[in-house]
Amino acid sequence: MFEPGVEVDPKNHVASVVKAVRLLELFTDGEPSLSFGQLVELSGFSRTTTHRLLGTLELVGWVDRSGDRYRLALRVFRLGSTAVSGIQLRHEASHVMSELAAEHGEDVYLVVPDGPRAVCLERIEGRTPVHVMVLDIGKSLPLFVGGGPVALLTARENDLLPALLASGPCVAPDGHVVSHDEIRRRIDETRSLGYSRSMEDVTQGVGAFGAAIRNAQGFAIGAISLGALKSTLEEREAELSTALVAAADRISARMGWVPPS
């Protein structure tokens, strides 16, 4: 939370954005609705600045106004719900991921969508002496490469694929452009197998299997993947892919998902 009076370096920050966030943080459970005068007083901003900021926040749907009073709009609630969902997913997935890594010895990853990319929320190391350090917590990959990202893209094809293709050329981590036909082939293969199969599309000699995680509404909110040397995945594909899909289903069940009968 920002403190009033903190100086903002204009070379590194957008001052108006900082001020807008400060206004939003004035709304609390105890004060969900504030008048214009209260916002001026609590923020320390001039009436002109406060009026301009509130007008912009109302325009983009972050605050609602009724007469002289303002409150946070539902868009803020949806954003907060997304953050809470990510925290809950990581909590519910960690135990299952740890068991998967311990039983089968390979590294396990949890990813969630972030625009045209998938960002890693969690990584559990297996007991193998060779760890696949392709994706660490907070790092991301394009949705068209890697086990978890491709599994997620397949499960969310209707909304994620159009946005991905509209974002520009699909450039893989090694710099080559992946064609739309190749992305379609990966999606079709994943749907046919029931899990994604990534072989050296991120790092030479390394691969991953991936499976989507669903919430209570059956919506894919993330994916887990099991990464290992390509040779290991090829030798143990039946064992590892079966265990991975079962683990994804267990996490989904913990998130409230009930598979169709």
At 110-149, the pLDDT tens digits run 999 988 999 999 999 988 766 665 678 888 899 999 999 9
SS3 175: coil
> pLDDT tens digits for 160-218?
999 899 888 998 888 889 999 999 999 999 999 999 999 988 888 899 999 999 988 89
- Nearest-CA neighbor of 248 among 127, 137, 154, 115? 154
Question: Model pTM greater than 0.75?
Answer: no
Map out the domains of the chain with their CATH numbers.
Answer: 15-72 (1.10.10.10), 81-254 (3.30.450.40)
Burial of 195 (0-12, 13-18, 19+ CB in 10 A): buried
- Residue 127 DSSP symbol: S
3-state secondary structure of 27: coil
